[in-house]
Amino acid sequence: MDRASGTLVDPPARDVAHPPPTTRLTDALALLGAMALTFLRSPRDFSMRVAFREWAGRMIGRYGSDNLILDFGVTKLLLVGGRDLSQHILGAPPRTDGFAAGKLKRNGMAFLAPHALTISDDEQWVRLRAFNTAVLDAGHPHELRRVFCTQVHRAFASPPATVEDIRGSMGRAMLAIVFGEGQAPERLALDVRVLIDLVQHPGQRLLLGRWERRRRERFYATLRQIWEGTTSSARPGLLAIARREAGSIPEEQLLEQIPHWMFTFTGSGTDLLVRALTLISSHPAVLDAALREIASAGPLDSPDAIDALRLLEACLMEGARLYPPVTRTFHRVASSRAAGSVCIPAGMEILHSFPLLGHGAAGQGTARFTPERWLAPASATAADFDPFLGGVRHCPGRELIIFVCKTALAILLDRHRVTVSAPLAGEALPPVFPERRLRFRQR
């Protein structure tokens, strides 16, 4: 009761949301200076992502907050380094009046697929999410996993010597799994890699986008031709299921879901596989335990045997925690919003940094390969960070790509006896995964 006016008033809130601290412009200038100095000292080993992450960790410590508004002068960006805020944002469906796809993400993906699930909002997101969930069997073992297991074995018939060899095998597996055995030309695997590279790199898109639009047109013309020739009696693959689940969704929107299925194999799926293979073969005790698990699981052409490989799955997830295949994602709020205890200003671009979330708020400390954390109860550390995102935005292809990667990993470790030629030295791991220098050999 307000004594002066005699009217009822709301009591003061106990937990008031506040905007995160804002860094100073001098901090951004210090970042640029540190990047330039690091590059001059060691241009071959320089990584802009690592330099930014180390700087962000220092800022988080200096300002005493897991989440920061980064002031770069011409723009401001909310950096999400706290898991509570991350889970709050990812736990809500994408909406234009809520947490929608960020401008950087939307502008990039729109070059290839303006109706992709990852940049959809509102009712379109609901429809496309249901479609992707049905096709990919999200949350369940896939109905075609026995067929897919056979296709992965065929794709990995020979031992690899390089990362590109593994990427090529994943590309062959992708063509068979997505389109059905022998239904798609091999060039589609290269086309989608080139196009996604333009999506992810604004500078390349600005320079090359005009010329690569012909590749995009050819790419979709081929997808449409395969789509129109696909029936329920076609060779088993995701496309045949997509025809079955299409409903009333326009063909254009359906076709624009396919590039993401494809690139998951040759992009983040290959990264998952390479990192797990390297980390396992760099740790002899883990390698011995993985080989014992594979030997006791049964024939590797059995999906049930692949499902039983819990340690291999833990290694894949731990590799993704240490070196996230997807390092960041962007969101945006149109109007000011409270997300738990954090107030996000209107029009703010939001950057999720998965390396910060995976390594802890400050991103500091020695990184170690500890796959057993993923074998602990759900309440353990592993449950706090999911490289496949969380909440309603959880990746609908998680179970499928994990199954494919486990199958390939078991084949490489057991059947081909593949190991990394130069194991990562010691317990402390490098801040950047050394993909460019990797070679593989048979034990």
pLDDT band at 232 (very low <50, low <70, confident <90, very high): low
Q: Which residue type, as a one-letter code, is found at position 280?
A: I
User: How is residue 401 written in tokens?
Assistant: 């790509």
Q: What is the mean pLDDT of residues 306-324?
A: 94
Count of CB atoms situated within 10 Å of the CB of 413:
23
Higher model confidence: residue 430 or residue 293? 293
CB 191 within 8 A of CB 215: yes
pLDDT of residue 233: 64
The answer to whether residue 336 sits within a structural domain is: yes
pLDDT band at 13 (very low <50, low <70, confident <90, very high): very low
The answer to whether residue 256 sits within a structural domain is: yes
Kindly give the interhelix angle for 270-281 and 398-410, rounded to the nearest 10 degrees: 40
**54 three-class SS:** helix
pLDDT band at 204 (very low <50, low <70, confident <90, very high): confident
pLDDT band at 269 (very low <50, low <70, confident <90, very high): very high
Q: What are phi and psi of 395, to 5 degrees?
A: -60, 120
* Residue 50 CA: distances (Å) to CA of 109, 363, 428, 432, 433: 24, 10, 16, 7, 11
Q: What are phi and psi of 420, to 5 degrees?
A: -75, 140
Q: Which residue type, as a one-letter code, is found at position 15?
A: D
* Residue 157 CA: distances (Å) to CA of 152, 160, 219: 9, 9, 28
Would you call 283 exposed, middle or buried from its count of C-beta atoms within 10 A (0-12, 13-18, 19+)?
buried
pLDDT of residue 358: 63
Closest CA to 117 of 262, 266, 254: 254
The answer to whether residue 257 sits within a structural domain is: yes
Residue with tokens 């412009």: 25
The alpha-helical segments, DSSP class H, found in 137-201 are 145-155, 163-179, 187-200
pLDDT band at 92 (very low <50, low <70, confident <90, very high): confident
User: How is residue 29 written in tokens?
Assistant: 């200038």
Q: How far apart are CA 282 and CA 419, in angstroms?
A: 8
The answer to whether residue 247 sits within a structural domain is: yes
pLDDT of residue 208: 87
* From 205-219, 220-234, 242-256, the region with the lowest mean pLDDT: 220-234
Residue 384 DSSP code: G
Give the domain CATH number at 419: 1.10.630.10
Higher model confidence: residue 361 or residue 174? 174
Residue with tokens 């340690």: 311
pLDDT of residue 179: 96
The answer to whether residue 37 sits within a structural domain is: no
* From 1-5, 106-110, 200-204, the region with the lowest mean pLDDT: 1-5
pLDDT of residue 329: 85
Closest CA to 408 of 293, 270, 264: 270
CB 249 within 8 A of CB 407: no
Per the structure, the count of domains in the chain is 1
pLDDT band at 384 (very low <50, low <70, confident <90, very high): low
The answer to whether residue 13 sits within a structural domain is: no
Q: Which residue type, as a one-letter code, is found at position 323?
A: Y
pLDDT band at 54 (very low <50, low <70, confident <90, very high): confident
Judged against a pLDDT cut of 90, whether residue 48 lies above it is answered with no
Domain that holds residue 274: 25-29+48-442
CB 170 within 8 A of CB 194: no
Judged against a pLDDT cut of 90, whether residue 149 lies above it is answered with yes
Q: What are phi and psi of 151, to 5 degrees?
A: -70, -35
Q: What mean pLDDT, rounded, does the chain reach?
A: 87
Entry field: residues in the chain: 443
Q: How far apart are CA 435 and CA 418, in angstroms?
A: 16
pLDDT of residue 3: 39
* From 102-111, 169-178, 183-192, the region with the lowest mean pLDDT: 102-111
Judged against a pLDDT cut of 70, whether residue 379 lies above it is answered with no
pLDDT of residue 359: 60
Share of the chain above pLDDT 90, in %: 58
CB 333 within 8 A of CB 99: yes
The answer to whether residue 10 sits within a structural domain is: no
Q: How far apart are CA 268 and CA 325, in angstroms?
A: 5
Q: How far apart are CA 331 and CA 10, in angstroms?
A: 33
Q: What is the mean pLDDT of residues 173-187?
A: 95
Q: How far apart are CA 28 and CA 71, in angstroms?
A: 7
pLDDT of residue 341: 85
The answer to whether residue 20 sits within a structural domain is: no
* From 203-217, 224-238, 259-273, 284-298, the region with the lowest mean pLDDT: 224-238
